[in-house]
Structure formats: C-alpha cells, structure tokens
Amino acid sequence: MPSSEMVSTFTSHWWALLLRGIFAVLFGLMALFLPGLTLVTLILLCGFYFILDGMMALLIGGRAHTWSLLGVGALGIIAGVLTFVYPGLTGFSLLILIAAWAIVTGIFEVIAAIRLRKELSNEWMLIIGGAISVLFGVVLLTNPVAGAMAMVWVIGIYAIVFGITMCVLAFRLRQMPHQLAGTLPGR
C-alpha cells in the first residue's frame, strides 16, 4: 500500500488509536489507584488490556495493510490469551512477558512511524509511544527483583503515558483529512 493510502487509512480510523489510548489510560489509572490488586487480578487485567490493545492494532494494521501493526496486534492478542490460559504465572514470569511484549510492540510502532514519516507530520508521537514501550520493557528486564507493588506502579505510569500519546496522535489524525483534502489520490 502506498504511503498516501496508509495515511488516509490512519486518518479515517483515528478513533481506533483513540480507543487504544483510552484503554491504556484507564488500565494505568486502575493500576495506580488500586495498588492492592492481587497478582492474579493484575494478570487478568494485563491479559484483558493486551487483547483490547491487540484488537485495535489489528484493526488499524489490517485497514492500512501494514505488517508492523498487524504484528503488534497479533502479539498483543497472543500475550493476552496466554495470561488467561496460565493465570498461575509467577510475578517474574509475568514481568518477563510484559517486558517482552512492550519491547517488541515498541519496535513495531517505531517501524510504522518511520514508514509514515514522509506522509505524516506527527509521526514523532508514534515514535515516542514506541520508544516509551521499549524503555519500559528494558527497565522491567533490568530490575526483575522489584516488588509486585513497584511493578504495578511502573505498569500504571507506562500505560498512562503511552495512552496519552496515542490519544494526542488520534486527535491530530482526526484533523488531518481536512488538511489532506486534495492531496491524496481519489479525494
């Protein structure tokens, strides 16, 4: 798919990015304001979030025909299903799963942003979201001894920051069809 068609797809599905952002912010707020969550509840919340985020990424990636977001979506759904199938995972296993998910999805988001950089003036927001994901994953991998409560706070803060960047990008994309009128083929 040419870049201009991909940008058109992104702008017409801005709401899917907004939903990704809202889901992330809600998940982050729950993690911060309900810190007494048990590990099993955290696992289920993470699984639910992974699946919702994966579905939104699959929707956008499928419409835009971009393998990087399809990969993000598939990975998110797989990670979510695994958390429901194996709810007895230890905190360390959950930490490794979350870290790997964040690193891989972050890399794919940066790849998508780089691909869009010539067509989209706000690609830096997707790059920031991807970089935050990678940084978050690396922090979790390098500090595996951190307590469950610290992990909940880090996850909550990450989800809120990532969610806000996705919401900002969504609103910027929502305004782009007006700016792109006449610049894309077929409009």
Long-range contacts made by residues 33-38, C-beta under 8 angstroms, separation at least 24? 35/149, 35/152, 35/153, 37/152
Residue 15 lies in a domain: yes
Nearest Cα to Cα of residue 11 among 99, 105, 123: 123
118-159 tens-digit pLDDT: 777 777 888 999 999 999 888 888 876 565 577 778 888 999
Residue 186 lies in a domain: no
Predicted TM-score (pTM) above 0.85: no
Residue 155 lies in a domain: yes
32-70 tens-digit pLDDT: 887 766 556 777 888 898 899 999 999 988 888 888 889
Contacts of 179 (CB under 8 A, 6+ apart): none
Residue 187 lies in a domain: no
Question: What is the predicted pLDDT for the residue at 170?
Answer: 92
- Alpha-carbon Rg for the chain, nearest whole angstrom, is 17
> What is the chain's mean pLDDT, rounded?
82
CA pair distance 78, 101, nearest whole angstrom = 10
Parent domain of 83:
3-180
Residue 114 lies in a domain: yes
Interhelix angle for 14-33 vs 3-12, to 10°?
Answer: 60
140's tokens: 């979790």
Residue 185 lies in a domain: no
Alpha helices in the chain (DSSP H): 3-12, 14-33, 39-64, 67-85, 91-116, 123-142, 148-180
Residue 166 lies in a domain: yes
Residue 54 lies in a domain: yes
Domain count, the chain: 1
CA pair distance 105, 100, nearest whole angstrom = 8
Q: Calculate mean pLDDT across residues 10-23.
A: 89
